[in-house]
Amino acid sequence: MWLRSRRVAGGLILALLVLGVEGSERRLPQGGVGAPFSTRDVQIRSDANAVTFTNADGRWTIFRRCLGTDVVGVGYVARYVSRLGHVVSNDVREDGFGELNNPEHGGIGTFGVELARGSGDRSWENTWHLSMRRCGPFGVTSWSRPSFGPLPAGGAYYRQDVWLGDGWTKRLLRLRYRWRFRRTGVDLYGSVTSLCGACPSPLGPAFVKEPKLVVTLNGQASEQKFRHFATFTEEGVWLRALEAGHNRECSYAGSNPREGTGHCFDEARERVRWSYADTERGGCAVTRPCFHAVFRSHAEQTGSWESRSAQPAGLEAWALDAAEQPGAGAEGCLTIDGEAVYSPAHENARGWEYAGNKAAPDDGYENSMVMAKGWDGCKNALDAPALYRLLQPGSYGFFLSLSLGDGWRRS
């Protein structure tokens, strides 16, 4: 993902080549279309496949079980339709490779890592994208029966555990997702827990890099398409890149992730807004609403993504813990500053990445994504073995708040 000027989204070019396969013609599942149950603020529909929550922002569908290896994953918002009737994100598909580094895929609140077995040279025989998007032996291997329903104070909830594994260890990681649907806005209190140390296999122990929480919008919220990413601090300050290198493109409107992606390393970063103009207000309107995503850490309470203190939390804490573990190899990664990075603890390894496809630079996004990472993995799953670190037991929490308009929250 790193180039001297800009990085290409991790594994993006290779992933797009791999994904260039015709999908079989079949009817894809709708999910969450049962009889409605209404709370004060949210309507709930469920069936054997999925649960759909409808609030003032639109319809949010979570699939409650696997339906095949390449249809849709479990536990995240796989389909979101805005209150104006537009499909904003859709991850129900005819084929899928499981990676999260492709803005053409949908899915909101997805989580994944790059996984390698053994050390030394990387190859697709011992390196995988491991994420909630894909079901099967290298992806979602099991899941709990979800609980969902109304909340006493209003709104609704959805709770589920999802386990990721590979061909040797069925449960490498547990994702504990607790969704809260409000009248306007949706919140996720999540955690990722490593369930084994090293997790031995005939190929060697397990190494991971690039843990990330991802929001992908492969549609639009209104008649107009989103055109711009804006990033705001905890105090609501717009992080516009006013000078070369300042804030590393926390304000971003790139059009081709094959040529480069945007990055934000500002320690106070907190909220990303999909908007229509490169202005502080973003061209947002009732008939042209902006979409917001707040990324924070979560332990006993929510906190900054980067703590800037002696008590790191969330995926930042995982990066610092991983830095104490052995790497899978010696080769590092060249950053946008021309500096080689070998450790997850390096400040240039711990940023957010933005990517999106436009037909032309002045057009709106056909699809776009934000990857909030614990630490980066370089260009793709095959390179920078120094950033792969031996998997060790640990648990790390994160918080995500979403809204179409101003319904987002900080905790």
pLDDT (average), residues 327-338: 83
pLDDT (average), residues 178-184: 97
- Residue pair 118/328 in contact by the 8 Å Cβ criterion: yes
The residue with tokens 């809260």 is 180
pLDDT exceeds cutoff 80 at 293 = yes
pLDDT exceeds cutoff 50 at 38 = yes
Q: For 319, how many CA atoms within 13 A lie in the half-sphere containing its CB?
A: 28
Q: In 3D, which of 265, 382, 401, 393 has the Cα closest to residue 318?
A: 393
Predicted confidence band of residue 68 (pLDDT cuts 50, 70, 90): confident
Residue at 136 is within a domain: yes
Residue at 409 is within a domain: no
pLDDT of residue 283: 95
pLDDT (average), residues 222-233: 95
pLDDT of residue 2: 36
Out of 98-107, 202-211, 400-409, least confident range = 98-107
pLDDT of residue 233: 92
Residue at 26 is within a domain: no
pTM given for the model: 0.89
Residue at 51 is within a domain: yes
pLDDT of residue 175: 98
pLDDT (average), residues 291-303: 83
Predicted confidence band of residue 8 (pLDDT cuts 50, 70, 90): very low
Percentage of the chain beyond pLDDT 70 is 84
Predicted confidence band of residue 20 (pLDDT cuts 50, 70, 90): very low
Q: In terms of pLDDT, which residue wins out, 368 or 67?
A: 368
Out of 263-272, 304-313, 377-386, least confident range = 304-313
pLDDT (average), residues 133-139: 92
Positive or negative: CA dihedral 163, 15, 379, 266 = negative
pLDDT of residue 26: 43
pLDDT of residue 197: 75
pLDDT of residue 121: 60
DSSP-assigned letter for residue 405 = S
Out of 53-62, 67-76, 161-170, 214-223, least confident range = 67-76
pLDDT of residue 66: 93
How does the average pLDDT of the chain come out, rounded? Answer: 85
Residue at 195 is within a domain: yes
pLDDT (average), residues 254-281: 91
Residue at 247 is within a domain: yes
How far apart are alpha carbons 34 and 28 in whole angstroms? 16
Predicted confidence band of residue 30 (pLDDT cuts 50, 70, 90): low
Q: In 3D, which of 5, 1, 9, 7 has the Cα closest to residue 368?
A: 9
pLDDT exceeds cutoff 80 at 188 = yes
Q: Residues near 375 by Cβ (< 8 Å), separated by ≥ 6?
A: 209, 210, 211, 315, 318, 319, 322, 344, 345, 349, 350, 387
How far apart are alpha carbons 186 and 248 in whole angstroms? 28
Residue at 397 is within a domain: yes
How far apart are alpha carbons 365 and 258 in whole angstroms? 15
pLDDT of residue 3: 31
The residue with tokens 């190899």 is 329
Predicted confidence band of residue 37 (pLDDT cuts 50, 70, 90): low
pLDDT (average), residues 334-352: 86
pLDDT (average), residues 388-405: 96
233-254 per-position pLDDT tens digit: 999 999 885 544 444 678 889 9
pLDDT of residue 305: 64
Domain count, the chain: 1
pLDDT exceeds cutoff 50 at 17 = no
How far apart are alpha carbons 89 and 103 in whole angstroms? 10
- Segments forming the whole domain that contains residue 113: 12-20+44-404
- Concatenating the DSSP letter of every residue in 256-325 gives -TTT--EEE--TTEEEEEEESSSSSSTT-BTTB--EEEEEEEESSSEE-SS--SSS--HHHHHHHHHTTS
CATH number at 197 reads 2.70.98
How far apart are alpha carbons 124 and 366 in whole angstroms? 29
How far apart are alpha carbons 192 and 176 in whole angstroms? 7
pLDDT exceeds cutoff 60 at 227 = yes
Residue at 28 is within a domain: no
